[in-house]
Amino acid sequence: MSIEQQLLARSEHSCELCKATANLDLHAVAPYEADSAEHCALLCTTCQQELDAPQDQNHWRCLNDSMWSTEPAVQVLAWRTLKKLSGEGWAQDLLDMLYLPPEVQEWAEIGFSEPEEDEGEALFDSNGVRLQTGDSVTIIKDLDVKGAGFTAKRGTTVKNISLNASLAGHIGGRVNGVQIQLAVQFLKKV
């Protein structure tokens, strides 16, 4: 049985990410080649075109279901796509829920390339350590969160931060389930 036939049987003749049934084709998941069904996924044309630079956020809401696939190749593609969309609250929520076994996580990270970001201003924590997208930080002072009605407590860890905050000198992160902007001078990299 060919790799494509194995994938068709495994996926029940549908895209393994969005479940579309038209224009399906084999996709090798980097860094692997199309050498076995375990290293490939069956994807529709839309998913293949959007995979490197996701644009249609509504299309990718399908990852809410496909990220729970038992196939490592599909899990890797879901993780990478959610990582690229992690600036969106819904995608970050899904990424926070997603658990990958260590060997699958390693595969996902090996072939993952961050989207090109505008270098802009380099941000440093209270100790002068440079912050990068995806870092975890700890809040070093109780901070009143305007408009949210709570205080971000000292010692709270904020995981998977984003540097594309709308305010200069701030990062984006989730505290108490709310996406907020935090001033870097009140943070310490974990």
pLDDT digits (tens, 9 = 90+) for 66-80: 999 999 999 999 999
Query: Residues 106, 141: one domain?
Result: no
How many folded domains does the chain comprise?
2
Residue 78: per-residue pLDDT = 95
Residue 168: per-residue pLDDT = 81
170 vs 115, 146, 155, CA distance in Å?
20, 14, 18
Query: Residues 91, 14: one domain?
Result: yes
Residue 108: per-residue pLDDT = 92
Q: Is residue 73 part of a domain?
A: yes
Query: Residues 103, 31: one domain?
Result: yes
Q: For residues 48 and 22, what is the distance between their CA atoms, to the nearest angstrom? A: 13
What the block records as the tokens of 54 is: 């996701």
Q: Is residue 122 part of a domain?
A: no
pLDDT digits (tens, 9 = 90+) for 110-132: 867 654 444 456 888 888 888 88
Q: What is the CATH number of the domain that holds 147?
A: 2.30.30
Residue 71: per-residue pLDDT = 96
Which residue ranges in the chain fall short of pLDDT 70?
Answer: 111, 113-121, 164-166
SS (H, E, C) the chain: CCHHHHHHHHHCCCCCCCCCCCCEEEEECCCCCCCCHHHEEEEEHHHHHHCCCCCCCCHHHHHHHHCCCCCHHHHHHHHHHHHHCCCCHHHHHHHHHCCCCHHHHHHHHHCCCCCCCCCCCCCECCCCCECCCCCCEEECCCEEECCCCEEECCCCEECCCECCCCCCCEEEEEECCEEEEEEHHHEEEC
Closest CA to 190 of 160, 164, 157: 157
Q: Is residue 123 part of a domain?
A: no
Closest CA to 11 of 98, 77, 70, 76: 70
Residue 79: per-residue pLDDT = 94
Q: Is residue 94 part of a domain?
A: yes
Closest CA to 145 of 171, 120, 181: 181
Q: Is residue 99 part of a domain?
A: yes
For 166, the domain range is 137-189
